[in-house]
Amino acid sequence: MTQYHTINSRAPRIDAPDKASGKAQFIDDLNMSDQLHGAILQSPLAHARIVKIDTSRARKLPGVKAVVTAEDAGLVQYGVSPARYDETLFCHDKVRYIGDEIAAVAAVDRETALAAVSLIDVEYEELPLLLSVEEAMKEGAPLIHEDYPGNICAEVHQEFGDVEAALAECDIVRTDTFMNKMQNCAFLEPQGCIGHYDHRGYLTLYSSTQTPHYVQRTVAMTLKMPIGKVRVVKPYVGGGFGAKASANAMEMVACLLSMKTGKPVKMVFTREQVFLQARGRHKFVHTLTTGAKKDGTVVALKHNCILEGGAYASFGIATVYYAGSLLGGPYKLQHMKYDAYRVYTNKPACGAQRGHGGVIARAAWEQQLDVIAEELGMDPVEFRFKNMMNNGDTSCNDLYMSSFGMRECVEAVRDKSGWERKRGTLPRGKGIGMACGFFVSGAGFPIYRSETFHCTATVKLSEDGGAAHLYTASAEIGQGSDTTFAMITAEALGVPLNAVKVSSGDTDFGVDLGAYSSRQTLMTGFAVKHAAEDAKRQVLEVLADKLRISVSDIDVKDGTVIFKGPGITFRTIRNRYRKEHRGWTDMPDDAPLSFAEAARLAFIVKGTVIGQGEYRPRWLGGKFKGAAVGTSPAYGCSAQVVELRVDMETGQITIDNMTDAHDCGFAINRTSVEGQMQGSLLMGLGEALFEEVKFDQKGRMLNPNFGEYKIPTALDMPNVTPIIVESNEPYGPYGAKEVGEGAIMPTIPAILNALYDATGIRFHELPLTPERVYKAIKEKQCEAKAERGRK
């Protein structure tokens, strides 16, 4: 095994001391001199025609500097995927959900801006509300968007193999329907931004975003600016989980207001606005028909899905594909058919959330597989061994498993959790369950069709050679990417971690598609590794030349130059370095030649040493429609065992133990990998047990706050036993691939399967609130009573 000096360790994160001491600056911590404050008028109605907007009273309020509406903003359509641009900066003809943006104000302070917003008079003509997919898909239902008949935002129809024929051959065929509710990413930091249009006509947007690159493109497009004049800078970001992965209206509004006023304009969402901006998990209804042979081989899957999307497409077109294309894995499956619709309703738009598209489908199917295993009399673990893909397999929809530690994951959780000892022995009210997961490690294509590099990275050595500075436009949003890339730079360059400085999250630093689809470690990491290797090569070439040896005779490790041959003397280099740095501390004397000395030499010979790296996936995927969604340079997989307790009288569930194994290819930072696993499990637990965005009959959100939208507290979350599986991904840097999203996949189904073990009841609707669980237990008891009565 290769010996690494930095990666694969538990190095503390480079941003942790600043965060621990309160110095790290998030968007709301930034202020610019002479800045104005913005506020947005959002629709109080879920579906209405705008008859008239009168801003005159707002304009007259002292302290107001600008009031803008669609008239000022224009009607350029934007969205996430160019195939579904369906938003304009402000509503001009109608509003489609409570929260839709109508106008905005810039004023001297927030209080004035909010007061001005309340002085904007809008006359509406109410339209019929469509608050469910049933209403929206009904014959003759009014259209939320004129261009989308039937209120269908997107549909997918795919078939691989011949599902009907295969099902006919199966020994067991089961159909189940499963659904969740709309969810929220519920990161702790509300979105915020500062737009600053300067006197030269350059626009800088500071924003709490996961994707500076896409925001830059969207802002440039909607405000009709050249890309080169728009810069997006991301300060520290307090979590994103998907909802911050695309441009939001506030960002464009702040820029527009700055263009109008010539001053920086700041805006920050309230928590309620975070909920209205939404863009979290869709509500999915999955109907799955799975066929298997007596021996346990799963043969065919027929999958229908309806997604309630809310008022705009957002990521929806990708979501609707992901929900189907990622389901087959991690299993061998010859036949798969998928038909799905994403439907518009008058609610806030849904988008991407950790485990994009796949989480609810996975929950539904892993539970169904458990049912089938039981009907066949097989242990769920054995059943999964029987069906799982291996290294080098390709799924029926052309997804290639270049590395795949599925078996190791299942074995690990089985052994660590005591599965064999506990399974089938727990008393009523206690249960143990397991499930597997599968996810992409970066999307094969950018969201817009292009052959662009997905990322570029630059490593610049300081002129004294002592420091390496990595520039990347990637987005540290809390997941630890800056640390990962610093570690990769240190390893690839051969210097200690504290010699590496990272500047990231700025579109001026290069191109990077950002933090979504679990892409950065593999993709950006790849580019960073190459940039560091490039810089190292340049230094070693100069050194080799000076010493008249071959580059292959030297290497660098942990800041020291290693000569492979004997008798190489570097006295002249050292003497020169010492003379140049008279009076400096930490002068090298007897020590071996340092990388800093070599890098200094390289600077003197050839000027600034700049290493460059970039990444673009190899060509991926099949030729069928939608093949692009779901392809990835690599796939992560995971397995989990959950133990829980149910209060059979109240329906309350307590999760006692979670054992989780994840194949991340190779752990660049072991602590960070575990942290992603533990955090993913928390979100999965919350979604399984508590989380649901609720609406009333007017389309008003009932719980846009942390009091009533319940995410797990420290008392709800148990300890997790995290197990890192490393399958060495050939296409990833040092073998690394994803962990950030895939880890959430097995959580919900493992809970469902454990709940069945505890109660003997299968649940087909989330969240598993005490009331839902209690009702099911009660029904079952009534049935049992009636049964006994009949006998």
Partner 1 sequence: MLIPRFEYHKPSTLKEACEIKGKFKGKAQLLAGGTDIIPNMKKRIILPDSLISLNGISELKSNSVSGKNRCARIGACATVSSLIRGKFLLPYSALLTGLESLGSPLIRNMATIGGNLATARPAADLSPSLIAYKGKAILCSVAGKREVSLDDFFLGPGKTILNDDEILAEIILDELPACTGSGYIKLGTRKALEISLVNVAAVIALEKPDGVIAGARIVMGAVGPIPLRATTAENLLMGEKPSDGLFAEAGKAAAEDSRPIDDFRGSAEYRRDMVRVITVRALQKALHDIR
Partner 2 sequence: MKIVINVTVNQKNYELAVEPNMTLVDMLREELRLTGTKKGCGLGECGACTILLDGQPVSSCVMLAVEAHNRKIVTIEGLETEKGLHPIQQAFVEKGAIQCGFCTSGMVLSAKALLDDHPHPDEQDIRKAISGNLCRCTGYQKIVEAVQSVSEGEQTS
Measured in degrees and rounded to the nearest 5, phi and psi for residue 533 equal: -65, -35
By a kind-dependent CB cut-off of 5 to 8 A, residue 769 interacts, out of partner 2, partner 1, ligand FES, none, with partner 1
By a kind-dependent CB cut-off of 5 to 8 A, residue 771 interacts, out of partner 2, partner 1, ligand FES, none, with: partner 1
- Binding footprint of partner 1, residue count (CB under 8 A): 28
Contact between 201 and partner 2 by CB under 8 A: the answer reads no
Q: Which is nearer to partner 2, 17 or 592 (CB)?
A: 17
Query: Residue 415's binding partner, choosing from partner 2, ligand FES, partner 1, none, with beta-carbon cut-off 5 to 8 A by kind?
Result: none
Stretch touching partner 2 by CB under 8 A, among 18-26, 385-393, 428-436, 614-622: 18-26
Q: Which part of the chain contacts partner 2 (CB under 8 A), choosing from 236-244, 372-380, 403-411, 782-790?
A: 236-244
- Segment interacting with partner 2 (CB under 8 A) among 166-174, 496-504, 516-524, 673-681: 673-681
Question: Which residue, 34 or 696, is less far from partner 1 as judged by CB?
Answer: 696
132 contributes a contact to partner 1 by CB under 8 A: no
Question: How far is CA 353 from its chain centroid?
Answer: 6
Question: Where does this chain touch partner 2 (CB under 8 A) — which range of 94-102, 540-548, 670-678, 751-759?
Answer: 670-678
- Beta-strand pair 653-663/635-646: antiparallel
Rounded to the nearest whole angstrom, what is the least distance from the CB of residue 489 to partner 2 in the complex? 20
20 binds ligand FES (CB under 6 A): no
Q: Contact at 8 Å (CB) between 505 and 473? A: yes
Closest approach of Cβ 191 to partner 2, in Å?
Answer: 12
Short-list 384, 395, 339, 375, CA closest to 170: 375
Q: Is 715 in the site for partner 2 (CB under 8 A)?
A: yes
Q: Does 779 bind partner 1 (CB under 8 A)?
A: no
Q: Which is nearer to ligand FES, 142 or 239 (CB)?
A: 239
Q: Which of residues 675-704 bind ligand FES (CB under 6 A)?
A: none
List all residues 6 or more positions away from 70 whose beta carbon is below 8 Å from its beta carbon: 88, 89, 90, 91, 92
Among ligand FES, partner 1, partner 2, none, residue 168 binds (CB under 5-8 Å by kind) = none
Give the C-alpha separation, 201 to 229, whole Å. 7
Q: Look at residue 140 and give the partner it binds from ligand FES, partner 2, partner 1, none, a contact being a CB closer than 5 to 8 Å depending on partner kind.
A: none
Within 141-200, which residues bind partner 2 (CB under 8 A)? 185-190
Bridge partners (DSSP) of residue 308 are: 283, 343
645 interacts with partner 1 by CB under 8 A: no
Scanning 150-158, 319-327, 450-458, 702-710 for contacts with partner 1 by CB under 8 A, the matching segment is 702-710
771 lines the binding site for partner 1 (CB under 8 A): yes
Q: What does the angle CA 402 – CA 680 – CA 649 come to, to the nearest 5 degrees?
A: 130
* Residue 16 lies near ligand FES (rule: CB under 6 A): no
Q: Which does 22 bind (CB under 5 to 8 A by kind): ligand FES, partner 1, partner 2, none?
A: partner 2
| # binding residues, partner 2 (CB under 8 A) | 55
Q: Which of partner 1, partner 2, ligand FES, none binds 672 (CB below 5-8 Å, type-dependent)?
A: partner 2
Q: Where are the alpha helices (DSSP H) in 390-504?
A: 406-417, 419-422, 481-493
Rounded to whole angstroms, the maximal C-alpha distance in the chain is 101
Question: Is residue 33 close enough to count as binding partner 2 by CB under 8 A?
Answer: no
* Residue 188 C-beta: closest distance to partner 2, Å: 4
Minimal distance, residue 348 CB to ligand FES, in Å? 21
Name which of 355 and 478 has its Cβ closer to ligand FES.
478
Edge-to-edge strand ranges of the sheet holding 653-663: 430-440, 635-646, 653-663, 720-725
The yes or no reply on residue 715 touching partner 1 (CB under 8 A) is yes
Residue 478 in the binding site for ligand FES (CB under 6 A) = yes
Residue nearest to ligand FES (CB): 188
Q: Could you say whether residue 3 binds partner 1 (CB under 8 A)?
A: no
Q: Where are the beta strands (DSSP E) in 198-294?
A: 203-207, 230-233, 265-268, 283-292
Q: Does 785 bind partner 1 (CB under 8 A)?
A: no
Under the phi-then-psi rule, with left for phi > 0, alpha for psi from -120 to 50, and beta for the rest, what region is 150? left
Pairing assessment for the beta strands 468-472 and 500-503 based on DSSP bridges: parallel
Contact at 8 Å (CB) between 237 and 208?
yes
CB of 654 vs partner 1, minimal distance in Å? 8
The residue within the footprint of partner 2, chosen from 271, 416, 557, 645 (CB under 8 A), is: 271
Identified binder of ligand FES from the candidate list 51, 75, 83, 188, rule CB under 6 A = 188
Residues in contact with ligand FES, shown as a per-residue x/- string from 238 to 257 under the rule CB under 6 A: -x------------------
Residue 326's nearest CA partner among 398, 256, 271 is: 398
Question: Least distance in Å: CB of 386 to partner 2?
Answer: 32
Q: What is the DSSP string of 450-462?
A: ----SEEEEEEE-
Give the span between the Cα atoms of 791 and 184, in whole angstroms. Answer: 48
Least CB distance from residue 225 to partner 1, whole Å?
A: 33
Choose among 360, 351, 373: nearest CA to 764: 360
Cβ closest to partner 2, residue 18 vs residue 123 = 18
Contacts of 588 (CB under 8 A, 6+ apart): 574, 577, 578, 594, 597
CA pair distance 648, 651, nearest whole angstrom: 5
Task: Give the residue with the Cβ less far from ligand FES, 370 or 476.
Answer: 476
275 binds partner 2 (CB under 8 A): no
Q: Which amino acid is at 628?
A: A
CA distance 598 to 542: 8
Going by C-beta distance under 8 Å and a sequence separation of 6 or more, which residues neighbour residue 577? 588, 597, 600, 601
Q: Which residue's CB is nearer to partner 2, number 711 or number 773? A: 711
d(CA 677, CA 552): 40
Candidates 519, 435, 464, 460; CA nearest to 211 is 519
Reduced to 3 states (helix: H, G, I; strand: E, B; else coil), residue 207 is strand
User: CA distances (Å), 451 to each of 454, 572, 791, in order?
Assistant: 9, 48, 70
Tell me the C-alpha distance between 603 and 394, whole Å. 48
18: helix, strand or coil: helix
| Residue span binding partner 2 (CB under 8 A) among the ranges 134-142, 245-253, 370-378, 699-707 | 699-707
Restricting to residues 89-118, which ones interact with partner 1 according to CB under 8 A? Answer: 110-111, 114
Extract the tokens encoding 356: 């994009």
Our finding on whether 276 is near partner 1 (CB under 8 A) is no
Give the C-alpha separation, 180 to 772, whole Å: 13
When asked if residue 23 is in the footprint of partner 2 (CB under 8 A), the reply is yes
CA gap 675, 681 in Å, rounded: 10
Alpha-carbon gap, residue 789 to 202, rounded angstroms = 80
Left (φ > 0), alpha (ψ -120 to 50) or beta: where does 504 sit? beta
Binding-site member from 2, 3, 33, 713 for partner 1 (CB under 8 A) = 713
Footprint (CB under 8 A) of partner 2, residues 475-494: 477-480
Q: How far apart are CA 70 and CA 77, in angstroms?
A: 12
Rounded-to-integer distance, Cα 127 and Cα 125, Å: 7
Nearest to 520 by CA among 470, 572, 455, 589: 455
Asked if 702 touches partner 1 (CB under 8 A), the answer is yes
Q: Which residues bind partner 1 (CB under 8 A)?
A: 110-111, 114, 270, 649-650, 652, 689-690, 694, 696, 702-703, 706-708, 710, 712-716, 769-771, 774-775, 778
Q: Which residues bind partner 2 (CB under 8 A)?
A: 10, 12-13, 15-26, 28-29, 185-190, 236-239, 241, 270-271, 477-480, 671-672, 674-675, 677-683, 705-707, 711, 713-715, 717, 719-720
Q: Which residues bind ligand FES (CB under 6 A)?
A: 188, 239, 478
